[in-house]
A = this chain, B = another copy of it.
């Protein structure tokens, strides 16, 4: 059951001019579910992407990186669920290339203008006959208004579709941003997550879009974790079609900051939706680390808390067992941490000061905060001025059930 995950109604989703989407059932892993999605992008669309740092980068990730480097305009995306095409060696690579080739033939473009994506089980062969056999139906389904269906058809263990859509005004014109994401387990993105797609009808110069894509990922998908497992297939893509008539060429452009903020905001919402729908999650936790000497040490502390199974199970139990948070801060790897300068808040309750329990702390105050579905844990390290925020969830019986059952 997702934690406060807002699903807009289909009528509130704004199509993005220059983006068509088609969906079909390929039966890659399971019958009777939509599992194949094709994006067609208008000529002139800028596309940028960031990908997993896992050394077992999936075959489609490797092909994406190669195709994005060729500088031929990207014109299509092909996304399958049910099989990750990861840990599949040379054969897997050839299958990802074959997918691009067949999509290119159907859309009358070049294979290197196609980006392939796969998500699902690792180390199993991708059933190409089913994928290629279903591609024509997905292409036939291409239409402007298919975002809601796409959000469904890229799901795996997700219980809810994840979609954001908003409009901003730039230079007196309406600019649309619409995006989808998926992911619920194997989530500790380290470049992007598995998978996020955000499109806008603003035009953005290709080099600039690459930088903006990385900035957006670093403030959104790269700040969430469910289980600390960085996936082999993480991919986050921004597409800018330019069809709104508004184009941003450089960071000096007066619209740059507004557009970047809108992209970051939409990306963060897509990323947070993954945490809200994380496998077995019952609580959405924001871990904010302030007064750090560096962003790196703030992130070390935030991730130590966010990954501790003991902290996560205590939140599941709504038990303010706060010593577990102090313990995680203590082993986060800041070897010269002076614990007497540290302060810890649970929501608005000051829990620890001077290396120990706040003398005024009352267990019932901690208990009150722990009952909430959304909880902010705030740590002040007393070492400097830098802050970082990470989003995560609790650790429940349902997580074990899902991950002990998934696949078998």
A interface, CB within 8 angstroms of B: 53-57, 84, 86-92, 121-125, 185-186, 188, 190, 227-232, 307-310, 313-314, 316-317, 319, 321-324, 326-331, 334-335, 337, 339-340, 352, 354-357, 395-397, 399-401, 403-408
Nearest Cβ distance between residue A402 and chain B, in whole angstroms?
8
Which of B316, B331, B337 lies in contact with A229, CB distance below 8 A?
B331
Number of copies: 2
| A310-B185, A319-B407, A323-B122 as given contacts; A329 in contact with B56, CB under 8 Å | yes
Instruction: Give A332's nearest chain B residue, CB to CB.
Output: B55
Do B404 and A326 touch (CB < 8 A)?
no
Measured between beta carbons, the chain B residues less than 8 angstroms from A337 are 55
Which of B54, B125, B229, B400 lies in contact with A308, CB distance below 8 A?
B229
Closest 4 CB pairs of A and B: A122-B323, A89-B356, A56-B330, A123-B323
Do A355 and B396 touch (CB < 8 A)?
no
Bound-state CA distance A123–B324 (Å) is: 9
Which of B86, B185, B310, B405 lies in contact with A317, CB distance below 8 A?
B405
Do B186 and A55 touch (CB < 8 A)?
no
Which of B307, B316, B400 lies in contact with A397, CB distance below 8 A?
B400
Say what secondary structure dominates the interface of chain A: loop
Which of B54, B84, B404 lies in contact with A319, CB distance below 8 A?
B404
Which of B86, B229, B335, B399 lies in contact with A328, CB distance below 8 A?
B229
Measured between beta carbons, the chain B residues less than 8 angstroms from A397 are 397, 400-401
Do A90 and B356 touch (CB < 8 A)?
yes
Measured between beta carbons, the chain B residues less than 8 angstroms from A326 are 56, 86-87, 122-123, 232
Nearest Cβ distance between residue A118 and chain B, in whole angstroms?
12
Measured between beta carbons, the chain B residues less than 8 angstroms from A404 are 313-314, 316-317, 319
Nearest Cβ distance between residue A98 and chain B, in whole angstroms?
16
Bound-state CA distance A310–B157 (Å) is: 13
| A123-B326, A308-B229 as given contacts; A54 in contact with B331, CB under 8 Å | yes
Do A186 and B56 touch (CB < 8 A)?
no
Which of B121, B230, B317, B408 lies in contact with A323, CB distance below 8 A?
B121
Do B55 and A408 touch (CB < 8 A)?
no
Which of B56, B323, B329, B406 lies in contact with A339, CB distance below 8 A?
B56
Do A122 and B88 touch (CB < 8 A)?
no
Do A317 and B408 touch (CB < 8 A)?
yes
| A330-B55, A408-B319 as given contacts; A355 in contact with B122, CB under 8 Å | no
